């Protein structure tokens, strides 16, 4: 994912988005890792993070951590 973010940025895009499917990876740690080493100003977003399996406080705390690690570049989509 980190390499993909650099490749996407090099092609002139300003954002990368991930979703969370029923069997997919949790996008928040992946975006935190990509944002920690990604290009400055590059936005990182979650297309949809399902809320039923997560406690709202836990989701908010995780999103806040990712915001901190990425310099405020997370766009959180929930559903």
Question: Torsion angle, CA of 79/67/35/22, rounded to 10 degrees?
Answer: -20
Phi, psi torsion values for 74, nearest 5 degrees: -85, 135
pLDDT at 23: 66
Percent of the chain's residues with pLDDT above 90: 48
Query: What distance in Å separates the CA atoms of residue 53 and residue 21, rounded to the nearest whole number?
Result: 12
* Whether residue 60 has pLDDT greater than 90: yes
Residue 27 in contact with residue 5, Cβ under 8 Å? no
Q: What is the pTM of this model?
A: 0.82
Of these ranges, 1-15, 16-30, 56-70, the one predicted with the greatest mean pLDDT is: 56-70
* Whether residue 72 has pLDDT greater than 70: yes
């Amino acid at each position: 994912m980190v390499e993909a973010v650099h490749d996407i940025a090099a092609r002139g895009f300003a954002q990368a988005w991930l979703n969370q499917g029923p069997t997919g990876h949790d996008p928040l740690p992946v975006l935190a890792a990509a944002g920690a080493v990604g290009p400055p100003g590059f936005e990182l977003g979650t297309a949809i993070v399902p809320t039923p399996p997560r406690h709202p406080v836990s989701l908010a705390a995780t999103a806040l951590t990712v915001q901190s690690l990425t310099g405020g570049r997370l766009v959180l989509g929930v559903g």
